[in-house]
Amino acid sequence: MNKSNICAAVEGNKLKFNTRQFFSKPPIFDDILKKKIYRFKLGINGYVEIDEPLIDPKNTAIFTTSLINKGDAIQGGSVDGWSTKPIKKPTVGAATGTHSANFSYLKGHSYAHVQSGHRDHQQSADVQSRHPDVIEIINPVYLQDEVKKKT
């Protein structure tokens, strides 16, 4: 299990999350997946964990910088991301001894990344060790479409 509390990203087929502040944002059409994605932001404190990995993640994850294994998780002050299916109603439960939080799931191909300070993300040992110069690297699998567009 690979766990990161610095600004890393997770990608999976089902992600579980908890947060104290949930914002939904209007959906966008994703040009890579070629479908509508439902965006969200978790405020104050957000935790997202891969509950079900993608099938063949090396060939289906959009970003090669994403953590992709079951149990991989991220945690941060502000987390943003999306899922390909509408996000269900969170349930409120105890997150710590003193705080309660909203618990829910992101279903379908989903992505979450800690955004509070892109610099932290850039500088995190986790990301730096793999890709020192960029925040997100698109999986080459999806670049075929880009190549087609240019030719």
Partner 1 sequence: MTTQKIDSVSISASPVVPEGFFSGGNAGQDFLVRVKLDDQYNTAGIFTTQTKIFTDGLNKYFLKHIQDIELLSSVIFWQKKTIDYQALNMAFMMDSLSEEDFEKEAEKFVVRQKEVQPALIASFIERLDLLTGLKLDTSDYADYFQCSQNNVMAGLSLINNPHFVAMLPSPEKTK
Q: How far is the CB of 67 from partner 1 (least distance, A)?
A: 18
* Strand pairing category for 35-52 and 79-83: antiparallel
Binding site residues, partner 1, CB under 8 A: 23-29, 31, 36, 38-39, 41, 78, 80, 86-90, 115-119, 122-123, 128, 132-133, 135-136
Task: Please tell me the distance from the alpha carbon of residue 146 to that of residue 31, in angstroms, as a whole number.
Answer: 10
Q: How far is the CB of 26 from partner 1 (least distance, A)?
A: 4
* CA distances, 94 to each of 8, 33, 42 (Å): 25, 35, 17
Closer to partner 1 by CB, 97 or 132: give it: 132
In contact, 91 and 102? CB cutoff 8 Å:
yes
Q: How far is the CB of 120 from partner 1 (least distance, A)?
A: 9
Q: Identify which of 127, 6, 145, 20 has the alpha carbon closest to the alpha carbon of residue 63.
A: 127
Q: How far is the CB of 28 from partner 1 (least distance, A)?
A: 6
In contact, 17 and 41? CB cutoff 8 Å:
no
Closer to partner 1 by CB, 36 or 70: give it: 36
Enter the DSSP assignment of 66.
Answer: S
Q: Identify which of 2, 37, 25, 32 has the alpha carbon closest to the alpha carbon of residue 79.
A: 25
Q: How far is the CB of 1 from partner 1 (least distance, A)?
A: 27
Closer to partner 1 by CB, 20 or 41: give it: 41
